[in-house]
Amino acid sequence: MFGAFRRYFSTDLAIDLGTANTLIFARDKGIVLDEPSVVAIRHEGGTHGRKVIQAVGREAKAMLGKVPGNIEAIRPMKDGVIADFLITEQMIKQFIKMVHPRTLLSPSPRIIICVPCGSTQVERRAIKDAAIKAGATQVELIEEPMAAGIGAGLPVSEASGSMVVDIGGGTTEVGVISLGGMVYKGSVRVGGDKFDESIINYIRRNYGMMIGEPTAELIKKSIGSAFPGSEVKEIEVKGRNLSEGVPRSFTISSNEVLEALTEPLNQIVSAVKNALEQTPPELGADIADRGMMLTGGGALLRDLDRLLAEETGLPVLVAEEPLTCVVRGCGIALDTLDRKGVTIFTSE
């Protein structure tokens, strides 16, 4: 009875619990939160003492690589799934508090969360349990390609094939959707984080310099490319010289970044080709006409659509707002919570 009373004052939420960013969509309000999936923890009384949440989101991300010994800035999500259950639970709780107006009663919303289609039953159960412990009364899971397709405006309920490639921070999800269901789904643990890691390793190998994740992300966003271009761009960045142990500046070009990104890009191309090979011929003909839709933050990498078009020979479109496609799709799915017999949600 008391739980139902609390839920009356809570807003239904859709959460894109991503490796890099967490977005929350509130019913009738739209996207109300877009924060990095980072938590800063302060250790009180040594490493085995009490742990206190110091900051979450942007404030915590600004601390990455800059914290003293008693504070730890971590990303509790890895490859689209929970790496640290307790910290993820606290992060979700803090984010829910941010989007709910302050009241005497703690919020108790119904929540839809998207999950990678390659996640195991155990990983899905962990995400569901974390949301329930964070205060949710009901939790439904929806697979990322389905949510991305809905958010990108694809005709997912029609008897025709729609192909979505969602490139997030930790995973790349490939889905072929028809009649409101997933005909093919595949997931590879390659995404924006792997791009950053490849840039860090390339610079260490070729320049003898050590850079952090924020610098690698800056390089990727500024001059990163998935296809050789006529214009070569350069950027000057700072790092630590490994042989001298002191900070130094150096310049890296877009062609070098392309070389660094070759391996993760090849894995994404292979995942797309594998999906096309396993798609039924009739749906394949629809995809050949309409093309595939790119969503997720990775879709913003320059000329990625051109690379996939060259490799597959199919039209490739980038969604209007690729970063928010998944959470907007989850938000549209909120309307199905009160309906029985809906099939877009996945079993845990």
Per-residue model confidence as pLDDT tens digits over 322-348: 999 999 999 999 888 776 655 677 755
Question: What pLDDT does 5 receive?
Answer: 43
Q: How far is CA 272 from each of CA 167, 176, 188, 235, 260, rounded to the nearest angstrom?
A: 11, 10, 10, 31, 20
Question: What pLDDT does 46 receive?
Answer: 66
CB-based contact 110:137 (threshold 8 Å): yes
Domain 192-260, architecture per CATH: Alpha-Beta Complex (3.90)
**Run of H or E including 294:** strand 292-295
Question: What pLDDT does 2 receive?
Answer: 40
Contacts of 71 (CB under 8 A, 6+ apart): 40, 41, 42, 43, 54, 63
Residue list for the binding site for ATP: 19-21, 169-171, 217-220, 297-300
For 160-190+265-322, which CATH superfamily applies?
ATPase, nucleotide binding domain (3.30.420.40)
* Extents of the domains making up the chain: 38-74, 160-190+265-322, 192-260
Question: What pLDDT does 65 receive?
Answer: 78
End-to-end alpha carbon distance in the chain: 26
Which ranges in 248-303 belong to alpha helices (H)?
Answer: 254-260, 262-277, 281-290
Adjacency order of strands within the sheet including 234-241: 209-210, 234-241, 247-253
Question: What pLDDT does 6 receive?
Answer: 47
Question: What pLDDT does 52 receive?
Answer: 87
Residue 314 neighbours by CB distance under 10 Å: 17
> Which token pair is 339?
């309906």
Question: What pLDDT does 72 receive?
Answer: 87
* Whole-angstrom distance, CA of residue 254 vs CA of residue 225: 7
What residues in the chain have per-residue pLDDT under 70? Answer: 1-10, 46-48, 101-106, 339-343, 347-348
Residue list for the binding site: 19-21, 169-171, 217-220, 297-300
Q: Same topology for domains 160-190+265-322 and 192-260, yes or no?
A: no
Question: What pLDDT does 44 receive?
Answer: 81
β-pairing, 13-17 vs 110-115, is: parallel
* Whole-angstrom distance, CA of residue 232 vs CA of residue 253: 7
**Run of H or E including 165:** strand 162-167
